[in-house]
């Protein structure tokens, strides 16, 4: 066959491969494929795409898109080379500038990927509406206010046809949520290092007058070099609304209900502070401190403080139930760190650390080796899953696609009504279901613990059995002595 396969024109139109390289690849393919017989055009296309993949000119995701008839792989000056998933607005892609023509994400010896970018997109549609576009662009403007090594950096933004996009530095490791899902729970020094680094970025936000409002493991990102950065400022709000009114577009409808009513509740229910739930219109730094404490608990325990129940039940739990002691689920955790986590999750805002800087100072002596161990864990996390030697603790999945925030807006009025009418109440049995289960670990059996009536019977019999047999034998011996005397 001397004519190009049908898919060739689509590959050329996609501009994924430089024109010269594509022409050379086509000539080589036709020469190597000259004696092959293809029963259909589809087989011919598949053979050509496989050839391009073998020569590392296209990757698997790009081929899957080409087979679906999609030939657009560019946003502005950026070339989309893979999919990273989806977010609250739309899709997130791995992209690259034209400084590097490779269609693969390749790291240097230090693990650095200098040309890679993460692009968040929003497609203009009836589903999103004008307000979604305004929010997306406002988030970009807020991101431009901050430049800190512990905040994911916005590099560029723009509009291409009906698509708005924001370009961020690409974090080539995992999120904290993904790492815990893989490792089940993290060592104390690694968790302390992650929280300390996150607190540095958070402190920068607070110093500039903003609250993050959505601190959670899914928004803490790593590089393979052990860098820790806080991302996703989509729900960030200023503490002084009037001061930043021009930046917010001149109206506060996205932050307060219509006609000056109660402010909207937004965030993720697993990490919301009771004071944020009670009064969502008065943002302050202790909201983020509480959320960071819940995130800290997740890192060392493997699940959130209140892992069960609906979003509504979890909000009530944050208001009414004391968070569990992290030492119960991470016995090796230093007492100072456990006490700090509990203080960060205190129901009373005044009893929490006053600032993110205070958290950084408290953890300074507990982060030794944390970065090196994090790098090791990240490297191990990319290896194939080993066969588990025991049943892992189930991880409570948080919602990262933005649907949680919408749900909380719907729940906000119900919570408000409960608070105003003093009908906020949860049955003790309900709270028991919301609280995490006590983990039964064999290595903890020697420790003094609470007396458990449900399990004490068999253990007591096992302990007293030999003693009872000894007493019975002694009584029989005395009786025999008396009988034959």
Q: What is the CATH number of the domain that holds 425?
A: 1.10.510.10
pLDDT (0 to 100) of residue 382: 82
In a domain, 131, yes or no: yes
Whether residues 106 and 249 fall in one domain: no
- Residue where a domain terminates, one of 119, 148, 169: 169
Tens-place pLDDT, residues 281-331: 888 999 999 999 999 999 999 999 998 888 888 998 999 998 999 999 999
Residue 393 has pLDDT above 70, yes or no: no
Whether residues 202 and 349 fall in one domain: yes
Whether residues 41 and 113 fall in one domain: no
The CA-based dihedral angle spanning residues 445, 450, 451, 453, taken in that order and rounded to the nearest 10 degrees: -100
Give CA angle at 474 (468, 478), nearest 5°: 145
Of 149, 191, 199, 151, give the one whose Cα is nearest residue 352: 199
In a domain, 376, yes or no: yes
Q: Which residues lie below 8 Å from residue 398, measured CB to CB, with a gap of 6+?
A: 177, 216, 217, 218, 268, 270, 271, 304, 404
pLDDT class of 432 with cuts at 50, 70, 90 = very low
Q: Which residues lie below 8 Å from residue 139, measured CB to CB, with a gap of 6+?
A: 166, 233, 234, 236
Asked if 369 and 375 touch (Cβ cutoff 8 Å), the reply is no
**181-207 average pLDDT score:** 96
What is the Cα–Cα distance from 29 to 24, expressed in whole angstroms? 9
pLDDT class of 424 with cuts at 50, 70, 90 = very low
pTM of the model: 0.77
**394-400 average pLDDT score:** 40
Whether residues 357 and 426 fall in one domain: yes
In a domain, 97, yes or no: yes
Whether residues 319 and 396 fall in one domain: yes
In a domain, 448, yes or no: no
| Integer angstrom CA distances of residue 358 from 27, 291, 343, 344 | 65, 15, 12, 11
Look up the CATH number of the domain holding residue 86. Answer: 3.30.200.20
Residue 93 has pLDDT above 50, yes or no: yes
What is the Cα–Cα distance from 283 to 213, expressed in whole angstroms? 8
pLDDT class of 390 with cuts at 50, 70, 90 = very low
pLDDT (0 to 100) of residue 88: 63
Segment (H or E) for 133: helix 129-143
Whether residues 62 and 132 fall in one domain: no
- Residue where a domain terminates, one of 390, 413, 434: 434
Whether residues 160 and 244 fall in one domain: no
Whether residues 87 and 182 fall in one domain: no
- Residue where a domain terminates, one of 126, 147, 169: 169
pLDDT (0 to 100) of residue 430: 45
Q: Which residues lie below 8 Å from residue 188, measured CB to CB, with a gap of 6+?
A: 300, 330, 332, 333, 334, 337, 366
pLDDT class of 480 with cuts at 50, 70, 90 = low
Q: Which residues lie below 8 Å from residue 90, measured CB to CB, with a gap of 6+?
A: 120, 121, 122, 123
Whether residues 188 and 208 fall in one domain: yes
Residues of the chain above pLDDT 70, percent: 70
| Integer angstrom CA distances of residue 343 from 261, 290, 339 | 32, 9, 6
Structural domain of residue 151, as residue ranges? 74-169
Q: How many CB atoms lie within 10 A of CB 57?
A: 22
Residue 85 has pLDDT above 60, yes or no: yes
Tokens of 155: 């590099």
- Describe the crossing of helices 176-183 and 285-301 by its angle, rounded to 10 degrees: 20
Residue 470: helix, strand or coil by DSSP? helix
Segment (H or E) for 286: helix 285-301
Position with higher pLDDT, 225 vs 255: 225
Of 233, 232, 116, give the one whose Cα is nearest residue 173: 116
Tens-place pLDDT, residues 131-173: 788 888 888 988 999 999 999 999 999 998 888 999 999 998 8
The winner for highest mean pLDDT among 24-38, 213-227, 252-266 is 213-227
Question: Total structural domains in the chain?
Answer: 3
Residue 99 has pLDDT above 50, yes or no: yes
Of 391, 389, 390, 394, give the one whose Cα is nearest residue 437: 394
**174-178 average pLDDT score:** 93
Q: How many CB atoms lie within 10 A of CB 442?
A: 6
DSSP state of 218: G
In a domain, 356, yes or no: yes
The residue written with tokens 């080589």 in the block is 28
Label each residue of 77-88 as H, E or C.
CEEEEEEEEECC
pLDDT (0 to 100) of residue 383: 76
Whether residues 325 and 422 fall in one domain: yes
Whether residues 96 and 190 fall in one domain: no
Position with higher pLDDT, 55 vs 402: 55
The residue written with tokens 């028991």 in the block is 432
What is the Cα–Cα distance from 158 to 121, expressed in whole angstroms? 10
In a domain, 17, yes or no: yes
Whether residues 151 and 201 fall in one domain: no
What is the Cα–Cα distance from 443 to 246, expressed in whole angstroms? 59
Position with higher pLDDT, 356 vs 14: 356
In a domain, 18, yes or no: yes
In a domain, 467, yes or no: no
For the chain, the distance separating the N- and C-terminal CA atoms, rounded to the nearest angstrom, is: 116
Of 125, 218, 235, give the one whose Cα is nearest residue 175: 218
Asked if 232 and 92 touch (Cβ cutoff 8 Å), the reply is no
């Amino acid at each position: 066959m001397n004519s190009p396969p049908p898919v060739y024109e689509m590959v050329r139109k996609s501009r994924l491969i430089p024109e010269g390289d594509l022409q050379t690849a086509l000539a080589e393919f036709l020469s190597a494929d000259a004696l092959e017989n293809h029963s259909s055009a589809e087989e011919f296309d598949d053979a050509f795409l496989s050839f391009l993949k073998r020569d590392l000119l296209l990757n698997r995701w790009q081929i899957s898109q080409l087979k679906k008839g999609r030939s657009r792989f560019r946003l502005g000056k950026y070339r989309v080379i893979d999919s990273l998933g989806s977010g609250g607005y739309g899709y997130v892609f791995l992209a690259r500038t034209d400084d590097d023509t490779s269609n693969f994400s390749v790291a240097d010896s230090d693990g650095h990927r200098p040309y890679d970018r993460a692009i968040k997109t929003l497609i203009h549609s009836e589903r999103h509406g004008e307000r979604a576009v305004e929010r997306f662009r406002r988030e970009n403007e807020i991101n431009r206010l901050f430049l800190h090594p512990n905040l994911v950096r916005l590099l560029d933004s723009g509009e291409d046809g009906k698509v708005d996009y924001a370009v961020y530095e690409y974090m080539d490791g995992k999120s904290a949520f993904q790492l815990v899902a893989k490792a089940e729970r993290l060592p104390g020094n690694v968790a302390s290092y992650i929280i300390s680094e996150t607190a540095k970025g958070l402190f920068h936000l607070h110093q500039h007058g903003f609250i993050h409002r959505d601190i959670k493991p899914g928004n803490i990102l790593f590089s393979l070099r052990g860098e820790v950065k806080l991302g996703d400022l989509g729900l960030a709000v200023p503490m002084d609304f009037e001061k930043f009114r021009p930046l917010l577009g001149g109206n506060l409808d996205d932050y307060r209900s219509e006609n000056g009513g109660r402010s909207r509740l937004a965030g993720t229910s697993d990490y919301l502070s009771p004071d944020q739930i009670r009064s969502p219109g008065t943002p302050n730094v202790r909201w983020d401190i509480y959320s960071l404490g819940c995130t800290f608990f997740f890192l060392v325990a493997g699940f959130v403080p209140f892992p069960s129940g609906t979003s509504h039940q979890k909000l009530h739990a944050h208001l009414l139930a004391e968070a569990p002691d992290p030492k119960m689920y991470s016995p090796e955790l230093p007492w100072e760190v456990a006490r700090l986590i509990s203080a960060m999750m205190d129901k009373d805002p005044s009893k929490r650390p006053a600032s993110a800087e205070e958290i950084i100072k408290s953890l300074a002596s507990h982060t030794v080796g944390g970065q090196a161990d994090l790098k090791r864990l990240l490297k191990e996390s990319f290896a194939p899953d080993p066969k588990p030697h025991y049943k892992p603790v189930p991880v409570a999945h948080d919602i990262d696609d933005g649907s949680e925030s919408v749900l909380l807006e719907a729940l906000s009025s119900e919570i408000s009504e409960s608070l105003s009418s003093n009908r906020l109440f949860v049955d003790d049995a309900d709270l028991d279901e919301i609280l995490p289960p006590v983990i039964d670990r064999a290595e903890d059996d020697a420790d003094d613990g609470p007396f458990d009536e449900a399990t004490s019977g068999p253990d007591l019999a096992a302990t007293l059995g030999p003693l009872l047999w000894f007493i019975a034998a002694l009584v029989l011996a005395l009786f025999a002595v008396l009988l034959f005397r």
